Amino acid sequence: MEQGRQGNGPPEESDAGPTRAWTERAVPGKALDKWQARDAGQRYASERFGSCRAGLRDVRLVESLLDRWAPGGRARRLLDAPCGSGRLAPALRARAEHYTGLDASRSMLETAASGLSQGESRASGLAEADLLRLPFRSGSFDVVVACRFLHHLREEEDLARAVDELLRVSRGLVIASFWDACSLPAWRRRAGLRRDEGPRGRTAVDRARLERILRERGAEVLAWRASFRFLSQQTFFAARVGRAPA
């Protein structure tokens, strides 16, 4: 698989090609090593979620936000970053004229590519690149989806940089997940009832802090979604770009 843009996706920002420099600095090396392992894509696809029901939770939350906030629940161009092994891809491709999946892991992309039929390949693109330095021009996509990435960013500078990039390449809607600091799992971790992952582990963020970061960048938070409010750590937000900061 070639590095960089594949298929007929939106043009890249420059000819210099993508870089993983920001991800290498912001995301713990242990996590990066795990994602870069040769079998990471297949392992993630087969072992990450214990049941079909668990695997569909994120899909259903994203679809509910698309149905509510995307015109007709669809997009002309949609970015899935990071796309991982392509877990959300079938549902997202069904709602987009052109789907682009991006990930820093070649193994993940190879697994995602293996799930594409010939017809789907013509309307899809895959890119190996850094989510914190997206290789696309500003406003390239109608909808940008970022699932299970922001909770890896412990430093506010890195979280803000990721939000910057997601908003920059969208001309409409951004849907992203994070770990909610007001959830029961996060509270149990702070109370010492659940193992903390340490200074280089995944982290939760409170909604007010995340909304402030979005508003400072001119985005309007439209909705928050979780399977079970306060019980579910994994939470999504939908934000619309282009709103003047208050």
The gap between the terminal CA atoms of the chain, to the nearest Å, is 44
Bridge partner residues of 101 (DSSP)? 80, 126
Do 76 and 101 touch, CB atoms closer than 8 A? Answer: no
The mean pLDDT value for 167-172 works out to: 98
Query: Is the per-residue pLDDT at 16 higher than 70?
Result: no
- Both tokens of 222, joined, read 């439209």
Calculate the average pLDDT of the chain.
82
pTM of the model: 0.82
Domain ranges of the chain: 28-240
Collapsed DSSP state (helix, strand, coil) of residue 170: strand
Query: Is the per-residue pLDDT at 11 higher than 60?
Result: no
Collapsed DSSP state (helix, strand, coil) of residue 239: strand
Going by C-alpha positions, the residue among 141, 137, 140, 131 that lies closest to residue 162 is 131
134-145 pLDDT tens trace: 999 999 999 999
Per-residue pLDDT, 52? 65
> What b/e sequence results for 100-135 when a residue is b if at least 16 CB atoms lie within 10 Å of its CB, and e otherwise?
bbbbbbbbbbbbbbeebeeeeeeebbbbbbbbbbbb
How many whole angstroms separate alpha carbon 187 and alpha carbon 184? Answer: 5
E-only strand ranges, the chain: 75-80, 96-103, 124-128, 141-146, 170-179, 220-226, 234-240
How many whole angstroms separate alpha carbon 60 and alpha carbon 82? Answer: 17
Which residue's entry shows tokens 């506010």?
156
Per-residue pLDDT, 119? 58
37-90 pLDDT tens trace: 667 666 666 666 555 666 789 999 999 999 999 999 999 999 999 999 999 999
Choosing among 1.10.3720.10, 3.40.50.150, 3.30.420.40, 3.40.50.300, the CATH entry for 28-240 is 3.40.50.150
89-105 pLDDT tens trace: 999 999 999 999 999 99
Do 115 and 180 touch, CB atoms closer than 8 A? Answer: no
Do 142 and 166 touch, CB atoms closer than 8 A? Answer: no
Top pLDDT among 4 and 235 is at 235
